[in-house]
Structure 1
Amino acid sequence: MLNTLRKSIRQYKKLTLLSPVLVTGEVIIEMLIPYLVGILIDNGIMKGNMPYIEKWGLILLILTVFSVAFGMGASYASAHAAAGFAANLRKDMFYHVQDYSFENIDKFSSASLVTRMTTDVNNIQIAYQMSIRIAVRAPMMLIVSVVMSIIISPRLSLIFLVVAPVFAILLGLIIKAAYPYFPKIFKGYDQMNQVVRENIRGIREVKTYVQEKPQIRKFEKASGFIYKLYATAQKIMSLNSLVVTAVLNITNLAICWFGAKEIVGGGLQPGQLISMFSYSNSVLFSLNMLAMIFTQLVVAGASGRRIAAVINEKPTIKDPRKPLKTVNNGEVVFDHVNFKYDPSDKAYALKDINLNIRPGETIGMIGKTGSSKSTLVAMIPRLYDVMSGAVRVAGHNVKSYDLKTLRDNVAMVLQNNVLFSGTIKDNLKWGNENASDEEILVAAKIAHADDFIQEMPDKYDTVVEQGGNNVSGGQKQRITIARALLKNPKILILDDSTSAVDTHTEREIREALAKDLPETTKIIISQRIVSIKDADRIVVMDEGKIQDIGTHEELMKSNDLYSSIAKFQEEQGK
């Protein structure tokens, strides 16, 4: 974990190293001041020597200024180093997620990834800042304070040798008791973020079905789970302050008792006793800081493992060593393809799929819900990889292609495609960032999106609200079809992507695709027979298998499943 995280420090190494150096200077001066104050009291104040008091008073003032300067520098260096480290961690995780396959994404929920990039990184940032400042300051204060105490009075310093181990043992027991709660707390954050994410994304459905109260109960349950765990952990950790207070009071009483005897016996000066009190407080304060650091490190340790898991996750789909950079045509061949989402699953999502699709051919695909139609086409751009068998495009296994090349030549339009914040033109340019206005216009006309875009206030410069809420479902689908067309793909996959479009407009889109993209292989998945009846061939799928292949007329005569769907839809007027 540490090796993974430290790679993200990068350009902040100098600030990371500078902070301990400045802290060292700060602590040395700060710990020297009580010793000098004791000398000032014994040789200046107790003897009424004003020149001596003025001289050492000035020296103490200068040392204080230097200590403050070193402290401010250390704070600046540690804060900037920690903030930069956190920014790099977020960047590294985000960049790494971009290389994930769907299989990798399925392993981490989206809510969990958000939690790891926010809450977990914040925990690491706090721990890192403490590590390069307080974690250096506390042990140095402890060591220097003990050394100075020994210099002043070896006999009184023995008190620390008794108290410090007891204090450390008590704090260790407290931390050990609290530690198991923190990994559970972060899992609770994942659950709560999932509830919030689902509620916000589906807020229209929530209000439509009047499900506000059940949603509130779900949130309260997730939030309450975190509260209970966190409250329990904090109750345990709050014992730190009780231990610190008790040990500090006992130590000061011991120093008062034995120190008074030392003064009466002539073995200690009053100023030295005051210095001992200062070093006593410093010793216990440093131990308390160490306890606080250990507490934060416990939290950060759980967060660090979650972050490292994201960064260390190996993408299951990678570019080959010598990838093909050109897709010559839109031929697609499924050769004895088998696939399941989880290797431990007993059932296959796809079972022995064999299908040859010629370049420029239009293939319709239909089947019951859950028959793995979408899973099948996801194999073409390698959103998933087959478990066995092979998928070939233009005569080559898809695993032989450069991923960018392959996916630039395979355009997928899904039923629930997403529009991103920005203008309509910005969204269209996802298909081709260098597309000219003329190319955008042509693609929009083929997708029958130009008509309604022209009626918008700013036409192609109209701003799309978050999630595309200011356009209808059918309009959103037509924009995403136009976006796909701008890729000028060899293979176009329409996965139920006209379900929100009226049948008349859908027919016009199909006719435009056939006319303007004759060489593009088109795979149309639909639940409506009317959407695929004019395809060159229609694939009927059932339970992950290809049940039948043929034209509309052939399947109406030979396939009971297809003909029953067609007759039912005809009776319903679909």
Structure 2
Amino acid sequence: MRLIFHYVRRHWVMALTAAGFLLIETIGDLLQPTLMSMIVDQGVVHADVGVVLRWGALMLAVALIGAGAAAMRNIYASRASQLIGRDIRSDTYRKVMALGFDTVDRLQPGAIITRITNDVVQIQNFAQGLMRIMLKAPITCVGAIALIIIQIPEQTPTVAVILIIAALLIWANMHLSFPRFLRVQRALDRLGIVSREFLRSIRVVKAFVMEHAERARFGAAARGFADANVSATRVNATFGPLINLSVNMGIVAMLWLSRSQHAAQIGALMASMNYMTQVLFALNRVSMIVNSATRASASAARIKEIFDCPNEFASATSSHESDSKDRNDVMLPTSSSAVTLHNVTFTYEQSAVPALRDITFTMARGATLGIIGPTGSGKSTLVSLIARLYDPQSGTVMINGRNAREWDVDELRAQIALVSQQPVLFTGTIRSNLQWGDPQADAERIRRAAHLACADEFIETLPGGYDARVGQGGVNLSGGQKQRINLARALVRNPHILILDDCTSALDAVTEHEVLANLRSLTAASPNATSTSTAAAAPAQPNHLSVIIISQRITTVRTADRIIVMDNGHIAGIGTHNELMRTCELCQAISASQLGGDRHE
């Protein structure tokens, strides 16, 4: 609850204004039975029409004031709750953007979406109810009880017993509801994850005619969510009527004890019954408050879990300072090595087996490094460490002669462009997607990058050219077109290190050869660009591009200055293509399976 009230305090003026109008409304409601008793005891009993009219006019005026206060209370409460929801959602989203990949993997993207949407809605509803109804219920309850005791003091023991019973029932309701509502939100997480996975892989599902399996999986998640909701609402369905019963029994007891009441005090008795009805209403509202607060507390705990997660990496500069820098205006060390890994071992959080074990190599600046190996051998994990998407558990990753942990993350990534295996495009235009590489890039720079990626040849044939629309996820483009746009976007960035993670798999052999030749022209080839030690490599021109190419195809990496052969998380061989064909059995096997024999240059 501390998290919720932290955000309520941000808009305390609006919240207090809503509470002030709520107080006026509540006072008006509490005055109505007393005014009615005055009409009965002083006007009706004595047949005094003037008294009835005077008290009746006052009663009407109080009702009008209360109605106006209720309208203003609704306006301010709704506005404040929307602002609170906006702030929580924005802060949560910013925090998610600062989380590391390992934390996102642990929390799961589908569950994070549920927290940003549904959990925030639960808190927003609680905040709105707090200012609209929840404050009114205890004030009404206390005020009504006080007025009953003032008008008929003999009923004090009866009222006390009713309150004790109701308080015990409300406490039991809250105690039993919290874990059940927490399970509801977790079940909703599961439902969101299943839905997201289906929508993301809908083409595969339809291609394999597996709709029945997905329906069964979704049905199981939906049943789990429904069962959790039933379990949670069953508690309220049990305790709500019990609270009603206890208050109604109290009303019966008060009428029984007042059976000898003098007729002249019949108005006070009527007022007391009205006040007991208000107490019943207030206790029902308190029960609703407990349920809403319980759900909001469970949701707040889940959002707080995100806030309590450590940020991705400690940054030497603030995000604002980093954003104000030119992404290409980063001073590079004078080291001749672009990338150095020394005794690096890395294990994913949810895995017991290391993905990388004792990796050591050095890559010179301006060189081209190829990485090849079987599926699951650790190739993509290796380059994720270079881009510092993860930190290794042991060993050192050096970028441009400096420990990656010592770099400001934004500065480090400003020098590196990673083109992933799965192309990612955003709804907009070709130009807007390419400008993700650098929003300040001019048309000439964009065209040059597209030319190097062999993307200009098809972009110019599209309706609108570089201003052609791109559907969600690039649905209106082929796989090869999307890969070339992703590569062009990376080149717009003008990186110092370019990492290609099997990003040419959808290209034909001729186009791939042309793309690699274009990239080769940006590098400074060196015959000894990569070695298995951390010693300084041969010097290279500082402004040349260093390229790391990951591929399943040996034809893609065979012209690289050095090739690393990965196998089960460790380096099985390193050298030129010809050297590996003489010394590395795994490389020989890959070449034989793909080229049909022991072919090498």
TM-score (normalizing by structure 2): 0.91
Partner of 1:520: 545
Maintained 8 Å contact 1:540/1:549: yes
Matched position secondary structure for 1:385:
coil
Matches within 5 A, 1:229-268: 229-263=228-262
Q: Distance in 1 between matches of 2:193 and 2:598?
A: 40
- Residue 217 of structure 2 corresponds to residue 215 of structure 1: no
- Residue 331 of structure 2 corresponds to residue 350 of structure 1: no
Maintained 8 Å contact 1:339/1:351: yes
Shift of 1:572: 9.7
Shift of 1:415: 0.9
Moved more, 110-119 or 381-390: 381-390
Partner of 1:326: 331
Matches within 5 A, 1:123-522: 123-263=122-262, 269-320=265-316, 325-328=330-333, 331-342=338-349, 346-518=352-524, 519-522=544-547
Partner of 1:93: 92
Shift of 1:346: 4.4
Q: Distance in 1 between matches of 2:210 and 2:485?
A: 31
Partner of 1:82: 81
The 3 A distance-change label for structure 1 pair 242 and 6 is: closer
Moved more, 487-496 or 69-78: 69-78
Q: 1:567 aligns with which of 576, 592, 598?
A: 592
Q: Distance in 2 between matches of 1:403 and 1:7?
A: 30
Shift of 1:493: 0.3
Task: Name structure 2 gaps, 5 residues minimum.
Answer: 323-328, 525-543
Matches within 5 A, 1:529-544: 529-544=554-569
Matched position secondary structure for 2:267:
helix
Shift of 1:534: 0.4
Partner of 1:558: 583
Q: Percent identity?
A: 33
- 1:504 maps to a residue whose letter is V
Shift of 1:380: 1.6
The 3 A distance-change label for structure 1 pair 312 and 487 is: same
Alignment RMSD: 2.0
The 3 A distance-change label for structure 1 pair 120 and 572 is: farther
Q: Distance in 1 between matches of 2:144 and 2:598?
A: 89
TM-score (normalizing by structure 1): 0.95
Shift of 1:345: 5.1
Maintained 8 Å contact 1:149/1:276: yes
- 2:551 maps to a residue whose letter is S
Maintained 8 Å contact 1:360/1:520: yes
Maintained 8 Å contact 2:371/2:550: yes
Maintained 8 Å contact 2:345/2:393: yes
Matched position secondary structure for 1:348:
coil
Moved more, 483-492 or 169-178: 169-178
Shift of 1:177: 3.0
Moved more, 213-222 or 376-385: 376-385
Maintained 8 Å contact 2:169/2:243: no
Matched position secondary structure for 2:386:
coil
Matched position secondary structure for 2:360:
strand
Q: Distance in 1 between matches of 2:177 and 2:21?
A: 33
Shift of 1:328: 4.6
Task: Name structure 1 gaps, 5 residues minimum.
Answer: none
The 3 A distance-change label for structure 1 pair 573 and 563 is: closer
Partner of 2:529: none
| Structure 1 residues 47-72: Cα deviation after superposition (integer angstroms, max 9, x where no partner) | 22222222222211111111112222
Maintained 8 Å contact 1:9/1:84: no
Shift of 1:476: 0.5
Matched position secondary structure for 1:489:
coil
Maintained 8 Å contact 2:462/2:468: yes
Maintained 8 Å contact 2:3/2:300: no
Maintained 8 Å contact 1:175/1:237: no
- 2:293 maps to a residue whose letter is L
Q: Distance in 1 between matches of 2:458 and 2:231?
A: 58
Matched position secondary structure for 2:135:
helix
Shift of 1:227: 0.8
